[in-house]
Homo-oligomer: A and B are copies of this chain.
């Protein structure tokens, strides 16, 4: 995917997303020993960067496709993002969710106008139900992370960050399904000045770390992490980009994630998800690497259940 695709994508989605603010904290900078620039996608529409990829994917559909709607399976931010992006564009969004998903997540999707379809909580059931919707309604399936248009959309957050801070040495993102880090790596490659992309990943779900070593997509046998946005695995569209353009993946413990999350809440005064804190946790774990460098961080989202905080 070339530079022009990112530029076009950014122009395309501009009316539907926020150019989110970039925050800094002199206290965090002193603590880390580096200059950190937090790109606050928790302030994005519906509260996460996923809005960018969802909007781009829908905008790239033909008129006929738009008329038949879109479908995805997700119980996370992408479900809400696709619902809202679809609503804003007058498109139907079918969201396949496991019947075990929390009521609050189903309500959130419905609140953004998505049509929730419940299924058994297995990958097979989810895929079968998605297939049914595609067959029955002619809806277009949009994967939350393994889709070229979604990857490009997610990359626009880093483009905006580099537009304000062109001389970043690093940009760090959390790694889940791989859409954000792949798009970010493309943006850093095309718009940065020797800006390296680094991933932060929970040790408990270190499939991307292992995939980078083995050269093939690895899976997780358990998914025991507080960073619930990062339990998914890489895909065949984003993994080649990650292999080519991502410099390193740094793994962090659950304790490091919670400590970084607390630091962000206390010092930046913003509400972010545990997944977002993984990027800062990675920088803190590998302080020497980032010492005196300028580092961008994508704060991926802010949708947390305030009744269940880890503090």
Residues of A within 8 A of B (CB): 21, 23, 40, 42-43, 47, 262, 265-266, 268-272, 302, 306-307, 309, 311
Nearest B-chain residue to A44, judged by Cβ:
B269
In the complex, chain B residues whose CB is within 8 Å of the CB of A271: 265-266, 269-271
Inter-subunit contact B306/A306 (CB<8 Å): no
For residue A21, which residues in chain B have a CB less than 8 angstroms away from its CB? 21
- List 24 A-B pairs, Cβ < 8 Å: A21-B21, A23-B43, A40-B269, A42-B269, A43-B268, A43-B269, A47-B269, A262-B306, A265-B271, A265-B306, A266-B271, A266-B306, A269-B270, A269-B271, A269-B272, A269-B302, A270-B270, A270-B271, A271-B271, A306-B309, A306-B311, A307-B311, A309-B309, A309-B311
How many angstroms from the CA of A31 to the CA of B39 in the assembled complex?
27
Nearest residue in B to A310 (C-beta to C-beta)? B306
Residues of B within 8 A of A311 (CB): 306-307, 309
Q: Contacts of A47 on B, CB cut-off 8 Å?
A: 269
Q: How far is the CA of A302 from the CA of B27 in the complex (A)?
A: 15
With a CB–CB cut-off of 8 A, which chain B residues contact A43? 23, 268-269
Greatest chain B CB density within 10 A among A23, A42, A269, A309 is at A269
In whole angstroms, how far apart are the Cα atoms of A307 and B47 in the complex?
24
Once bound together, how far apart are the Cα atoms of A269 and B302, in whole Å? 6
How long is the Cα–Cα vector from A101 to B119 in the complex, in angstroms? Answer: 54
Known: A47-B269, A269-B271, A270-B270. 11 other contacts (CB 8 A): A21-B21, A23-B43, A42-B269, A262-B306, A265-B271, A265-B306, A266-B271, A266-B306, A271-B271, A307-B311, A309-B309
Query: How far, in Å, is A255 (CB) from chain B's closest CB?
Result: 16
